[in-house]
């Protein structure tokens, strides 16, 4: 079946530290991959996406590269800020599947200390 595995949190970093949140997936065919972010008390917001192998999604200093050979889509940021504190979700959308049906990882909570 299709699934997404994220590293367990919570992750606590100091401001300006480097961030990596690991995400691996299992899927039939060639999925599209996403990172969503959820701030306290809010719904999810799309952070970045990639549609095919070797694509790099980027937004707000965050990056993730679609690695087909390792079935991974790790999220990185070179210098985190306190405002990046949130829960991050990796997700996939399987080709031919329903667009509204995303498969999410369990989420990784990030806390950034000043």
Partner 1 sequence: KAGVTQTPRYLIKTRGQQVTLSCSPISGHRSVSWYQQTPGQGLQFLFEYFSETQRNKGNFPGRFSGRQFSNSRSEMNVSTLELGDSALYLCASSSGQGAISSPLHFGNGTRLTVT
Question: Contact positions toward partner 1, by CB under 8 A?
Answer: 32, 34, 36, 41-46, 49, 51, 89, 93, 97-107
| Smallest distance, partner 1 to C-beta of residue 63, A | 17
Q: 25 Cβ partners below 8 Å, 6+ apart?
A: 2, 3, 4, 5, 31, 33, 71, 72, 73, 90, 92
Q: Give the shortest CB-102-to-partner 1 separation in angstroms.
A: 7
Nearer to partner 1, 17 or 111 (CB): 111
Cβ at position 13, least distance to partner 1 in Å: 22
Which residue's CB is nearer to partner 1, number 11 or number 17? 11
For partner 1, the closer of residues 2 and 71 by Cβ is: 2
Query: 3-class secondary structure for 64-105?
Result: EECECCCCECCEEECCCCHHHCEEEEEEEECCCCCCCCCEEC
């Amino acid at each position: 079946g299709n699934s997404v595995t994220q590293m367990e949190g919570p992750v606590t970093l100091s401001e300006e530290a480097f961030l990596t949140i690991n995400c691996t997936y299992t899927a039939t065919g060639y999925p599209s991959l996403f990172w969503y972010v959820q701030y306290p008390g809010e719904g999810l917001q799309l952070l970045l996406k990639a549609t095919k192998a070797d694509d790099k999604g980027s937004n707000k200093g965050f990056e993730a590269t679609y690695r087909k050979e390792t079935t991974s889509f790790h999220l990185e940021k070179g210098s985190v800020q306190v405002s990046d504190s949130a829960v991050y979700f990796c997700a996939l959308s399987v080709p031919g599947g329903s667009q509204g049906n995303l498969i999410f990882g369990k989420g990784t909570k990030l806390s950034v200390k000043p």
